[in-house]
Amino acid sequence: MNNYLTDFWQATPIVSLAIFALLTLIVDAAGKDKPVLSYWMSLIGIVVAAGFSVASLGASTPLFNTMLAQGGYSSYCNLIFLGSAFLCIVLSRNYLERLQYHRGEFYVLIILATVGMMLMAAALDLMIIFLGIELMSICLYVLAGFIRKKEKANESSLKYFLLGAFATGFLLYGIALIYGTAGTTNLALIGKSFPQLSHNSLFMIGAGMLIVAFSFKVAAVPFHMWAPDVYEGSPTTISAFMSTGAKAAAFAVFVSVFIRTFDIGGTKLSDVLAIIAAVSMIVGNVTAIAQNNLKRMLAYSSIAHAGYMLSGIAAGNIEGETGILFYLSAYVFMNIGAFGIISWMEQQDDKKLTFDDYAGLSSQHPAVAALMAIFMFSLAGIPPFAGFFGKYYVFLAAVKAGMTWLAIIGVLTSLISVYYYLRLVVLMYFRDGQASIEEKVSAPAMAAISCAALFLIVLGLYPSLVVDIAKGFFKI
């Protein structure tokens, strides 16, 4: 029997973050009415976990009886999740103080959700995937309804919870069928027998149910119905966290199950995913045009982005995997940046969330308008920002896998998306208006958002920085 105690010492990123979640909880309980303590504690925890993730980039021995991977792929994904959580926490402090809901539990739940995400990325066993998804989702259900007095927040929390529980049912049933046919929940063993199993209809039903559950978590059409309502009703910084960290974690699982384990290139599963990707791109982009509320617009845009990334998974090749890893690192920062600026503009009772509220922003707040423009250009996929290369890599993967039609749909729908992203830029710069930010933006929040924008530009100019790292992770 292995000595699991040493394994705990090796799984440092996850274990340290879990310990910091507990510390944050204790600090919150001990220091009455001082949520600022929890704020700092959670930030320290994230930095420590990020440090351990970087330190363990080179490690590759599986831990806990091949339940948990370390290093490489999982460390890279950890950094994405931790970046998303860090930005979300920094942005949340002022936002929650303004709404008079600044409480320490908020940070504890974000940290615990991040632990769940890290488990999802590092999982080598279907059981760990399930536990990670549940840990993340339960925290998000609560965070979505954190502003308890707001009716819309309650609606979004309940809606997310009920539909999420339904998706969990699909996930468990899928895992049960896969276990029934493969005789194991270990991903490596399932992957080894995948060529035979892929002719087994029960196994394929199980794999299809996994697609349903994961597509729900990434908000891909036709499992996207919850996303606009939930993003609209949740606290804006939590919408940012859900549409970046949670989505990135779901994609990390998608990649590790469907590319790294099943190797689906050229199978029926890849056709199914290609159709989901195409429909997501079309529905997400076309519906986003009609939105007037910015949070809803970003919700539909995030559905479209899920479609772009799914085309990389449908391709199922090395380009697809590296493309998605690059796309995720760009997407997380541009989307959280856009949501962050919306959270600065937003006033109580959901005011100042429409396009028209941003008219003439550049004359009052040139720096904020410039940052928003960078995020919009990047989301639209205009070079030299990182969003362009993200799309380039996933579409290239689709072409290489012989799915040129998918890449064509992707490019055409990206053109549609330019309309609604640039509409905001045009409003900010070329329309007269009284757009202004009522309260002063805190220096850390401004610095965080500026760093995200800078990161997008650097990544857009030197994409090989990330791609080379990502390529090294393929099948370790």
Partner 1 sequence: MTLETILFYALSFVSVGSALMMITRRSPVMSALYLILNFFALAGLYLTLHAQFIAVIQILVYAGAIMVLFLFVIMLLNLGDEKKLSEKMSYKKIIPAGLSFGLLMELLYIVSYAKSDLPLTHIERATEIGTVEYVGKALFTDFLFPFEVTSILLLAAIIGAVVLAKKKLD
Burial of 95 (0-12, 13-18, 19+ CB in 10 A): buried
Residue 139 interacts with partner 1 (CB under 8 A)?
yes
Residue 151 interacts with partner 1 (CB under 8 A)?
no
Residue 67 interacts with partner 1 (CB under 8 A)?
yes
**Which range touches partner 1 (CB under 8 A), out of 131-139, 254-262, 276-284, 367-375?**
131-139
Residue 6 interacts with partner 1 (CB under 8 A)?
no
Residues in the chain: 476
Identify the sign of the CA torsion 402, 120, 162, 103.
negative
CA 319 to chain CA centroid, nearest Å: 20
Residue 63 interacts with partner 1 (CB under 8 A)?
yes
Report CA-CA distances (Å) from 252 to 81, 103, 179, 361. 10, 30, 21, 37
Least separation in angstroms between residue 364's CB and partner 1 is 34
C-beta of 161 vs 262, nearer to partner 1: 161
Residues 198-217 that bind partner 1 (CB under 8 A): 200-202, 205
CA gap 209, 224 in Å, rounded: 16
Least separation in angstroms between residue 148's CB and partner 1 is 7
Q: List the one residue from 45, 62, 71, 145 that touches partner 1 (CB under 8 A).
A: 145
**Which residues are registered as beta bridge partners of 186?**
125
Residue 135 interacts with partner 1 (CB under 8 A)?
yes
Burial of 30 (0-12, 13-18, 19+ CB in 10 A): exposed
Helix or strand (DSSP H, E) at 3: none
How many residues sit close enough to partner 1 to count as binding (CB under 8 A)?
43
CA gap 460, 375 in Å, rounded: 12
Residue 257 interacts with partner 1 (CB under 8 A)?
no
Q: List the one residue from 65, 292, 348, 434 that touches partner 1 (CB under 8 A).
A: 65
C-beta of 205 vs 457, nearer to partner 1: 205
Residue 445 interacts with partner 1 (CB under 8 A)?
no
CA 159 to chain CA centroid, nearest Å: 19
> Which amino acid would we find at residue 183?
G
Q: List the one residue from 58, 169, 183, 222 that touches partner 1 (CB under 8 A).
A: 183
C-beta of 103 vs 423, nearer to partner 1: 103
Least separation in angstroms between residue 18's CB and partner 1 is 6
Q: Report whether 266 contacts 260 (CB < 8 A).
A: no
CA gap 345, 350 in Å, rounded: 10
Count of other CB atoms within 10 angstroms of residue 402: 11
Least separation in angstroms between residue 280's CB and partner 1 is 20
The CA-based angle 271-272-274, given to 5 degrees, is 60
Q: List the one residue from 23, 40, 64, 451 that touches partner 1 (CB under 8 A).
A: 64
**Which range touches partner 1 (CB under 8 A), out of 177-185, 248-256, 287-295, 432-440?**
177-185
Residue 128 interacts with partner 1 (CB under 8 A)?
yes
CA gap 133, 120 in Å, rounded: 6
Least separation in angstroms between residue 311's CB and partner 1 is 26
Least separation in angstroms between residue 125's CB and partner 1 is 8
C-beta of 65 vs 347, nearer to partner 1: 65
Residue with tokens 């002022």: 94
Q: List the one residue from 9, 148, 151, 349 that touches partner 1 (CB under 8 A).
A: 148
Residue 171 interacts with partner 1 (CB under 8 A)?
no
Q: Report whether 364 contacts 440 (CB < 8 A).
A: no
Residue 166 interacts with partner 1 (CB under 8 A)?
no
C-beta of 17 vs 288, nearer to partner 1: 17
Residue 30 interacts with partner 1 (CB under 8 A)?
no
CA gap 91, 170 in Å, rounded: 34
Q: List the one residue from 20, 39, 95, 146 that touches partner 1 (CB under 8 A).
A: 146
C-beta of 31 vs 472, nearer to partner 1: 31
**Which residues are registered as beta bridge partners of 83?**
none
The CA-based angle 169-170-172, given to 5 degrees, is 65
Count of other CB atoms within 10 angstroms of residue 254: 26
CA 211 to chain CA centroid, nearest Å: 17
C-beta of 58 vs 180, nearer to partner 1: 180
Residue 33 interacts with partner 1 (CB under 8 A)?
yes
What does the DSSP assignment read for 94-110?
HHHHHHT---HHHHHHH
CA gap 84, 80 in Å, rounded: 6
| Residues that bind partner 1 in the complex, under the rule CB under 8 A | 1, 4, 7, 18, 21, 25, 33, 63-65, 67-68, 103, 105, 108-109, 112-113, 115-116, 119, 125, 127-128, 131-132, 134-135, 138-139, 141-142, 145-146, 148, 157, 180-181, 183, 200-202, 205
